[in-house]
Amino acid sequence: MKSVDGSAALFLAVLSGLSAAPEPRTQAAEKPMVFIQPGYPGTTEEARGFVSSFCKVIRQAGGPEVPAGEYHNDEKEGLKAAQEKQPLFGIVSLGFYLKHAGDLSLQPLLFSSPAEPFHLVARKGAFKDLAGLKDKAVTGTTLLELEFVERILFGFADQGAAPAGGPREWKVQPVKLFSRGYREVAKGRQDAVLMSHREYQGLKQLEAAKELEAIHTTRSYPVAVVVAFGERLPAEQQAKLSAALKSFGKTAEGKDLLQTMGIDGFTDADLKYLKALAERYQKNAPESAAAGKKAPGA
């Protein structure tokens, strides 16, 4: 029988603290780092080992001394942690950054690389284009950051946005676990699922992929942004952090951690680009905010 692949088991193992490094609890006096990635798998508890390893590798690569960190895949909890725990830096989703950059004084340092698109996937032959999704049930973990989806992923005319079109026309049903999402669509219980590029690539090896097809692909975006929280991390430390993170691909342990995150590495953040995105985010904001349309469950 096929054993669980090393990478999957590794993800689980690392996520659950298999690392030899101790798992120190965050103390009030110590500033941690945070991961805030809505829709990602696992729990804060399960990810302790992963975060601990991450911090260790940063230290080993000459980055700042960070004793511990936390992982959150729920936006509200992540926000709470960011506000209460006073982290020095974090790795957040692009959506979280765009939404809370102002609240939390987030300073972008690095992007995850490569930038990747998102895919809208449905049963084969069910829909010719986005227009067919009007009033249809659409699911996926990405929809947990509905604003990001509406304002950025589908925020450009050539990307299917319309005054009354795009995600605002769908019956949005976000899920916390990606595999639930595609399975619901494969079984016909939902009409389409929005997924990241990595998830899309992963889906291809499954049996379910035979019944699904991508009906729309967005532009490419970095899935994660490395940010400093305000001025807590001095510039010198920021530089060290950036250098350390960019060197992750040079060590075996670093590579494993990157693979677990589903990225290849880190590059310098393109501030102009981010600014353009933020402007777009704001520009596309009022209608959804004014309509009061909140994503259920988000």
Partner 1 sequence: MPAPNDFFDRLLGATADRLLRHPGKILTAYLALAAASGLAAWRWLQFDTNQDNLISNEQEYNRRYLEFLKEFGDLEYLYVVIEVKDLPTAMRLADRVAEEVSGLTQHVDKVFYRVPEEFARRSGLLFLPEELLRRIAGFLAEHQKEVQEFLAVESLARLLEFVSSRLDARLAEADPELAGLALEGLEKMLAGLEQAAAGEPAVSQEEARGISAADLLSRLTEPPLKDLLEKGPWKSLVPRDLLQQAAGQGYFYTGKLLFVQILPKKNFETLEVIREPLRAIREVLERIRKDFPGERIGLTGRPALQADEMETTNRDMTWATVLAILGVTLLFMVFFRALRRPVLTGLVISIAITLTFGIVTATVGHLNLLSIVFAVMLVSLGTEFGIHIIARYQEELHHTGDLEKSLRSALLTAGKGNITSATTTAAAFYTSLLVDFKGLAELGFIAGTGVLVCMAAMNTLLPVLLLFTDRWRLPIGKLAPVRIRFLALSADRPGWTLPAAAALLLAGSPLLRTVHFNSNLLELQAKGLESVVFENLISEKSDFSTWYAAYIADSVDEVRRLVSQLRGPEFQNVIGKTESVLDYLPDDQERKLAAIRQIGANLKPGPGGGKETGGQAQKELIDIDKFSAALEALLDRFDSFLSGALRSGGEGARVLERLTETIDRIAQKVQEDKASARERLSKLQSSWLELLRSARAEIEPLLDPLPLALDRLPQEIREHVVSRRGKFLVYAYPKENIWYEQNMERFIQATRSVDGRVTGVPEQVYESTRLMKRGFILAALYSLVAVFLLIWIDFRSLLFTLLAMVPILLGMLWLLELMPVFNLAFNLANFFAIPIIIGCGVDGGVHIIHRFREDRSAAIATRSTGTAVALSFLTTITGFGMMLPAHHRGVASLGGLMVLGCFTCLVFSVVVLPAILRLVERRRYHEVR
In the shown chain, the binding pattern of residues 122 to 141 toward partner 1, with x for contact by CB under 8 A and - for none, equals -------------------x
What minimum distance in Å lies between the beta carbon of 213 and partner 1?
Answer: 17
- Which lies closer to partner 1 via its Cβ, residue 93 or residue 242? 93
CA-based nearest residue to 146, from 180, 202, 98, 85: 98
Give the one residue of 157, 162, 177, 271 binding partner 1; rule: CB under 8 A: 177
Give the one residue of 26, 30, 44, 46 binding partner 1; rule: CB under 8 A: 46
Q: Confirm or reject binding of residue 9 to partner 1 (CB under 8 A).
A: yes
What number of CA atoms fall less than 13 Å from residue 187's CA on the CB side? 8
Interface with partner 1 by CB under 8 A: which range of 83-91, 109-117, 161-169, 204-212?
204-212
Give the one residue of 26, 86, 179, 237 binding partner 1; rule: CB under 8 A: 179
CA-based nearest residue to 151, from 6, 266, 3, 291: 291
- Coil, strand or helix at 205: coil
Give the one residue of 129, 135, 207, 236 binding partner 1; rule: CB under 8 A: 207
Scanning the chain, the segments in alpha helix (DSSP H) are 6-15, 48-60, 75-84, 94-104, 146-148, 178-186, 197-203, 235-246, 252-261, 271-283, 285-291
Q: Confirm or reject binding of residue 262 to partner 1 (CB under 8 A).
A: yes
Distance CA 152, CA 218 (A): 9
- Which lies closer to partner 1 via its Cβ, residue 1 or residue 291? 1
In the shown chain, the binding pattern of residues 183 to 202 toward partner 1, with x for contact by CB under 8 A and - for none, equals x---x--------x-xx-xx
Q: Specify burial of residue 154 (Cβ count, 10 A radius: 0-12, 13-18, 19+).
A: buried
CA-based nearest residue to 245, from 134, 110, 69, 74: 110
Question: Residue 113 pairs with which residues in a beta bridge?
Answer: 265
What minimum distance in Å lies between the beta carbon of 244 and partner 1?
Answer: 21
Positions touching partner 1 (CB under 8 A) are 1-13, 15-18, 40-43, 46, 141, 177-180, 183, 187, 196, 198-199, 201-203, 205-208, 259-262
